Amino acid sequence: MTCQNPVKRLDTPVFWRDPALPFIEARSIEDGRKVCYSRHSHEVFSIGAITAGRSTYLHEKTTQTIATGTVVVMNPAEVHACNPIDDEPWSYLMLYVNARWLGALQRDDGVSNGGVFRGYPATHTQDSQLFEGLVDLHRRLVDSRLETLAKYEAAVAFFTRVEERLGGSSPAPRHANPKVERAARYIDEHYLQPIRLEELCAVANLSEAYLIRAFEQHYHMTPHAWLVNRRIQHGQAQLRSGEPIADIAQETGFADQAHFQRAFKKHLAATPGQYKP
């Protein structure tokens, strides 16, 4: 069974999911002029295609203009955002893929990674084979007439091609800062609870000002932005499981449902109601 929100307007995001293919999720929008993201990251691997027009593309600390035919690539945890340019129309599609599934596929393709996903160094590419392959895979995934096996085979074929075209040297690792990483792990373990800056400073054994500067330099997000991002990721998972929006808002530490909805839309350019199955 395919779960998909109906298209109401051209600027309404359309999500696709299938319980038989839990490792992959798709999103598309035909008119992105009003689609604005804040800086955010995902736990999964993200790859998308600009199918018409132009947009800005922020990736970690770089910002540039991208256009039709561009494939964007975001490894898990990499901060990014794509946004419209003035009132220029643009459209895009995205795939979000479980990193464990990709890691196993890489291992089966002969990559020595121990089954753990090895990220790609490229942040975007004009590779026409990848662009056409991504558009074709999206078309197959959302086709309700196509059998699950055919969709799975198409996904394997496309991501095998991704490895062939983008694989090689891994992206440069972040310079480790154990104290800052301790603060991030603390947020990851306690994000459903109220977290005070004093707690993070105690965990990291750093002053408030130094922690905030070092955290943002290391992760390209402030500690609070990291916390909100983790809560939104949790909210996404709960929405996919069918939990009521009001319950999710309360569980994830937002002041109320309206606060959760505003933060969710700011991160995903879609409301919780548009995102849920």
Q: In this predicted model, what pLDDT tens digit does every residue of 119-164 receive, in sequence order?
A: 999 999 999 999 999 999 999 999 999 999 999 999 999 999 999 9
> How far does Cα 72 stand from its chain's mean position?
11
- Write b or e for each residue in 44-75: b if 16 or more Cβ atoms lie within 10 A of its Cβ, otherwise e: bbbbbbbbebbbebbbbeeeeebeeebbbbbb
- Angle CA 10–13–17, to nearest 5: 135
Q: How confident is the model at residue 170 (pLDDT cuts 50, 70, 90)?
A: low
Task: Select from 53, 80, 79, 75 the least CA-distant residue to 66.
Answer: 53
pLDDT given at position 173: 60
Residue 167: pLDDT band with limits 50, 70, 90: confident
Domain 3-166, CATH: 2.60.120.10
By the 10 Å C-beta count (0-12 exposed, 13-18 middle, 19+ buried), 118 is classed as: buried
Stretch 72-79: mean pLDDT, rounded?
A: 95
* CATH superfamily membership of 178-275: Homeodomain-like (1.10.10.60)
- pLDDT score for 253: 84
Q: What is the mean pLDDT of the chain?
A: 89
Report whether pLDDT(176) > 80.
Answer: no
Closest CA to 210 of 238, 183, 173: 183
Where do the domains of the chain lie? 3-166, 178-275
Question: Looking at the predicted structure, is the pLDDT value of residue 168 above 80?
Answer: no
Q: pLDDT of 113-126, one tens digit each? A: 888 899 999 999 99
Q: Looking at residue 236, what DSSP letter applies?
A: H
Q: What is the mean pLDDT of residues 205-222?
A: 88
Helix H or strand E encompassing 249: helix 245-251
26: β partners: 16, 95
Q: How much is the pLDDT for 174?
A: 60
What per-residue confidence (pLDDT) applies to 6? 43
Q: In the predicted model, what is the mean pLDDT of residues 38-64?
A: 93
> Rounded distance, CA 259 to CA 256, Å?
5
